[in-house]
Structure 1
Amino acid sequence: MATTMDHYDGFRTFSWFADFVGLPIDQVNFVLTQFTALILAGLFRSSLSPIAATPAARHVYGLIIGLALGYFCFGRQAIHLASLPALCYVAMRTQNPRNMQRVVLAIALIYLSCIHFQRQIYDYGSYTLDITGPLMVITQKVTSLAYSIHDGLTRREEELTPMQRHQAVQKIPTTLEYFSYIFHFQALMAGPIIFYRDYMDFIYGHHLPGSKSLTIFYDKNSQEKEIVLEPSPTLVVVKKVVASLACAIVFITFISDFPIQRVKEDEFLKNTSMLYKMWYLMLTTMLSRFKYYHAWLFADAICNNSGLGFSGYDERGKPKWDLTSNVDVYKFETSLNLRDSIESWNKGTNLWLRSIMYERAGRNKVLFTYALSAFWHGFYPGYYLTFASGAFFTVAARSVRRHIRPLFLESQRKKTFYDILTFITTRIVMAYMTFSFILLEFMPSIKVYLYLYMFPHLLGLIAIILPPRLGLSKKAHKQSAEIDLSETISNGNAHKTM
């Protein structure tokens, strides 16, 4: 198994171990690099803390390890890890800041698209680890940085949204700062995107908002300095590693019993009921998510073990380590509506899409945001079916929430009934939306739609057209407006898209 992957350029030093455990060499290399990064992250936090080491030393440490791990996993393909950000850095240095961000976005997306096309030509439909994954994260980094520089150099502070104001950058990074940010090992392999300002705060030790003071000392110039007590991430790291490994075990154990490829078989399409088809889609898409849970939880643990990801203290005084969390597994699997599901999944990408597209687009924000997300993922037809359905069902869900939900808020019994109904509906819609993302192919996905009579699509169309024409009472409209306002304030405009 480990020696039949002709298109994999990574090191094959541990092929013997891959054969022993029965896993492809690319997956073994990925796991080995992540465990190595986890160990080295602990050394980063203990031996190269902001107090013990200079920012330059911390930059160099993260950069060298990231380059080494990237070369180990991808071999000759690692040249793309340097080429894309190098071209974008030249653009940042040479272009007018007023339009530089668009140039960087174009360069990054065109380069990434070429690699996506190449992958689809030589290894269509394969899930072999290749350079596209890290390049997608690097694309997020360079484009978000370009827009942050644009905001910091060309726009007034009052013109910026709170998120843009926080991420604004007033000077172009030095070469070391830039490439350290791009290649830092904590998030190179599986993300998530770490925004430049957050990364620099981490490097300089300013990443401890609300940290508790330990003591005060004076330097040679009698200038008062404060030493802060950094909370230990050990318990959080252990929990996330255990949860990550549990997700990997679930995925490896059960995915072979519910392969997504079965939905292409005539026996499955013709000889099973509509209810069973929907149940199977729910199971196979849920199991596929466990692969992402494993990668993202482990990546979050690596970040936390290096000290990256601390976001302050909660109301009970307990430290929070969720700044780099890319997924909220419990919230996603128990969400009562599509919006909460989307917010809990791939949160770093959500923030990236929000910062460079959703908050900057004029009309058709949802459409443009989903289009960028699809283009960034690649060119498999299944991606576009998923994101087109995502935009459609987002509009449908908003219509239901605005016009139907207020009618069920008159009593706790009605609200409970509504919550149960939306919980089930969300599970069905999420499976119906995302199976094509995993299947990748166009015609097989369309066949599944047709054998399901496109029933969810029809219900979504009814939800968009009918409720606004039902003539809800003024009371319902007032309730809906009050609910939307309170939730917008509490969630910080959480109606962002994938």
Structure 2
Amino acid sequence: MASLQNYPGSRLLESLGPYTTLNVDQLNFVAAQFFALGLAALYRTVFRPEKVSPSIRHAFGLLFGLWMGYFCFGYHAVHLAGLPAVCYLVILTQNPQVVHGAVLFVAMLYLSCVHLHRQCFADSSYGLDISGPLMVITQKVSSLAFSLHDGLVKRERDMTPSQKLYAIKKVPSLLEFFSYSMMFPSLMAGPVIFYNDYIAFIEGGMCAGTKKPPLDAKRVILRDPSPARAVFRKVCAAVVCALVFVLFLPTFPISKIKEGPFVDDTSLGYKLWYLTAATAVVRAKYYFAWCLADAACNNAGLGFSGYSPDGTPLWDRFSNVDIVGFECGTSLKESIDSWNKGTNRWLRFLVYDRVSSRATLLTFALSAIWHGFYPGYYLTFLGGALFTFASRTVRRRVRDHFAASRESKLFYDTSTFVATRLVMAYVTYPFVLLEFWPSVVLYNKLGWFLHGVAAALVAFGPRLIPKYEDAGRKNEIAMVLRRAGPYSDAVGRID
């Protein structure tokens, strides 16, 4: 186990290291998240909105967020307050016309400096780093600034539905701003929550857009339903993912793909199979952290989205990840939409829904810079943009040709499921490896073949693949797709 001599966080749990496979930084992260999970229940019950004032709820969430930050990061936790403090000064001093761009620039500059310091100077012996929570805080303060710009500058008729929903008409107080930025349930691993949703949670208001309970529900529906079932399910999922990571990482280390025997002496099929397995094991680490964070938020009362048809409360309004949606997605879009869902919402709110051209490229660019400056990130995001365009071409030009029957639709979905798994492993391994030349060396051995296929689809697909134009069969196809049930996501989009 690494000595972690330069780790600035608490060493209270260091003696437990020999009994686990975890270093003290990893133990601190796990302990902090389970502490947040238990504290969230106290927050939801003892400090519920009917019993205490919003100021007390703000202060409670902020104080324990600061404590968790200090426990995990020591004196580095000053950045958790430093980034929002600088951005709050920008909000107070800048014209509402430009405040959104100014806050995004300052927050990204601050975060980028931390990323670069970690990349160039930090001790690589420990994996827990202050940049993780700062990435979440950057999302919060920038989305707040954009909402403030919308509320103070834009006319309502010029706003999209999401901009109307999240528009802010006045600058938050100091306590509101900092408690929103550093609330303990979502501090360490998200998910990002927009400011108006956070205020509704603090003040006890029902979240906008939640579904009412069905009138014929057999059980008694409470206004404040218990999140126990959702919390238990997500904690179990987190534990399973942690076991997968711990048990299979020694068998499928990502570092193996840099070794000469793997690069030079294995077949193309084995390389692709190993990349698929190794990247899946790494994803389990993210699933663990995100599911546990989701559980903490739900246990605090965050994330209620309404009721299912049988009256079961749903707790998926704010979520980091949809594991089944990612692992079983039949298209690149489905998988991307299911991965880091809070970040997808943030990118859509800030970029994708606001620009008229090159929205996809600009969205990938902001996402790449937000992640940091390791070369592997940029190989993945550049490849991701290319494969996204190629995937759109296939969906628009090919899918409808297979929609004539349930069997052909199933064949199409099965084929795209396999292709999506292959592409995900192929395009994301540099993101995990981080290094440029080892990633490029392996791509050279693979012949960049999937990049070539994607580029050909983008360049020649619209010209060579005829679009399905049989208008007379649209209703028939729609009926087939509806009968296909879970095999189809195209109902209502035949045109």
Q: Normalised by the shorter chain, which TM-score bucket?
A: over 0.9
> Structure 2: how far apart are the matches of 1:41 and 1:469?
56
Aligned with residue 301 of structure 2, among 307, 313, 328: 307
Indicate which of 461, 467, 470 corresponds to 1:467: 461
CA drift of 1:416 comes to 1.5
| Structure 2 match to 1:106 | 105
Structure 2 match to 1:368: 362
Measured after TM superposition, the shift of residue 471 of structure 1 is 5.8
Deviations 1:102-133 (A, max 9, x none): 11011001110000000001247666101000
Say which SS state the counterpart of residue 11 (structure 1) adopts. coil
Count of equivalent residues: 476
Structure 2 length normalisation: TM-score?
0.92
Question: Is 1:194 matched up with 2:193?
Answer: yes
Render the CA deviation track for 1:310-357: whole Å, top value 9, x for unaligned.
011123322110012111101111110000000000000000000001
CA contact (8 A) 1:358 1:369 kept: yes
Map 1:378-389 onto structure 2 (within 5 A).
378-389=372-383
> What displacement does 1:389 show?
0.5
| Cα RMSD after superposing both structures | 2.3
1:157 counterpart = 2:151: no
Q: CA deviation at 1:65?
A: 0.5
Query: Offset at 1:372?
Result: 0.3
Q: Report the Cα distance in structure 2 between the residues aligned to 1:319 and 1:124, rounded to whole angstroms.
A: 45
The match for 1:265 among 244, 252, 259 is: 259
Per the TM alignment, residue 479 of structure 1 is displaced from its structure 2 partner at its CA by 8.0
Within 2, Cα distance between the matches of 1:473 and 1:311?
A: 39
Specify the code of the residue in structure 1 equivalent to 2:114: I
Q: Is the 8 A contact 1:326 1:347 kept in 2?
A: yes
TM-score, reference length from structure 1: 0.91
Q: Which residue number corresponds to residue 216 of structure 1? A: none
* 2:47 alignment counterpart: 48
Give the SS at the match of 2:206.
coil
The separation in 1 between residues aligned to 2:378 and 2:52, in whole angstroms, is 47
- Of 275, 280, 288, the match for 1:281: 275
Distance in 2 of aligned mates of 1:56 and 1:42: 19
Deviation of 1:490 after TM superposition, in Å, equals 7.1
Cα distance, 1:465 vs. partner? 2.3
Structure 1 pair 476/251, CA: closer, same or farther in 2 (3 Å)? farther
Identity rate of aligned residues, in percent? 49
Contact 1:100–1:146 (CA under 8 A) maintained in structure 2: yes
| 2-structure distance, mates of 1:148, 1:132 | 24
Equivalent residue letter for 1:313 = Y
Deviations 1:139-188 (A, max 9, x none): 00000000000001110111111111111111110011011101100000
SS of the residue 1:231 aligns to:
coil
**Paired AA for residue 80 in structure 1:** H
Q: What is the rounded CA distance, in whole Å, between the counterparts of 1:74 and 1:478 in structure 2? A: 64
Corresponding position of 2:407:
413
Partners of 2:190 and 2:290 within 8 A in 1:
yes
Match of 2:67 in 1: 68
CA, structure 1 residues 149+125, in 2 after alignment: closer, same or farther (shift >3 Å)?
Answer: same
Unaligned runs of 5+ in 2: 215-220, 479-487
Q: Which amino acid aligns with 1:202?
A: F
Which amino acid in structure 1 is aligned with residue 265 of structure 2? N
Choose from 349, 352, 358 the match for 2:346: 352
- Map residues 222-301 of structure 1 onto 2, 5 A cutoff: 229-301=223-295
Letter of the 1:321 counterpart: W
- Distance between the aligned counterparts of 1:17 and 1:490, measured in 2? 55
Task: Tell me the alpha carbon deviations over residues 289-311 of structure 1, each in whole angstroms, 9 at most, x when there is no partner.
Answer: 00010000000000011111101
1:28 aligned onto 2:40? no
- Looking at structure 1, the residues matched to 157 and 419 of structure 2 have their Cα atoms a distance apart, in angstroms, of 41
Given that 1:293 and 1:329 are in contact with CA atoms closer than 8 Å, whether structure 2 keeps it comes out as yes
Distance (whole Å) between structure 2 residues aligned to residue 478 and residue 154 of structure 1 = 47
Alpha-carbon distance in 1 for matches of 2:192, 2:454: 33
Answering whether residue 443 of structure 2 is matched by residue 449 of structure 1, we say yes
Partner residue, 1:318: 312
Gaps of 5+ in 1: 214-226, 492-498
Shift of 1:19: 2.9
Matched letter for residue 358 of structure 1? Y
- Gap change, CA 1:474 and 1:236, over 3 Å in 2: closer
Aligned CA distance change for structure 1 residues 479 and 153 (closer, same or farther; 3 Å)? farther
Deviates more, 1:376-385 or 1:237-246: 237-246
Q: Which residue of 2 aligns with 1:14?
A: 13
Q: Which residue of 1 aligns with 2:116?
A: 117
User: Who is 1:79 aligned against?
Assistant: 78
Find the residue that maps to 1:270 and give its secondary structure: helix
Aligned to 1:339: 333
Residue pair 2:37, 2:296 contacting (<8 A) in 1 also: yes
* Alignment check: 8 A CA contact 2:25 2:126 kept: no
Q: Which moved more, 1:165-174 or 1:124-133?
A: 124-133
C-alpha contact (below 8 Å) 2:402/2:412 kept by paired residues? yes
Which is further off, 141-150 or 467-476?
A: 467-476
Asked if structure 1 preserves the Cα contact closer than 8 Å seen for 2:398 and 2:465, the reply is no
Amino acid at match of 1:147: F
Q: Does 1:329 align with 2:328?
A: no
1:98–1:489 distance in 2 versus 1, CA, 3 Å: farther
Whole-angstrom distance in 2 between the partners of 1:471 and 1:426:
20
Say whether residues 1:429 and 2:428 are aligned partners: no
Please give the secondary structure, in 2, of the residue aligned with 1:229: coil
Give me the whole-angstrom Cα distance separating, in 2, the residues matched to 1:480 and 1:126. 59
Q: Residues 109-148 of structure 1: matches in 2 within 5 Å?
A: 109-123=108-122, 128-148=127-147
> Contact 2:331/2:417 (CA < 8 Å) preserved in 1?
yes
Q: Distance in 2 between matches of 1:466 and 1:87?
A: 49
The change in CA–CA distance for 1:448 and 1:478 in structure 2 (over 3 A counts) is farther
Distance 1:453 1:339 in 2: 25
CA contact (8 A) 2:396 2:467 kept: no
Q: Please tell me the residue identity of whatever aligns with 1:230.
A: D
Query: 1:463/1:24 Cα in 2 relative to 1: closer, same or farther (>3 Å)?
Result: same
SS at match of 1:366: helix
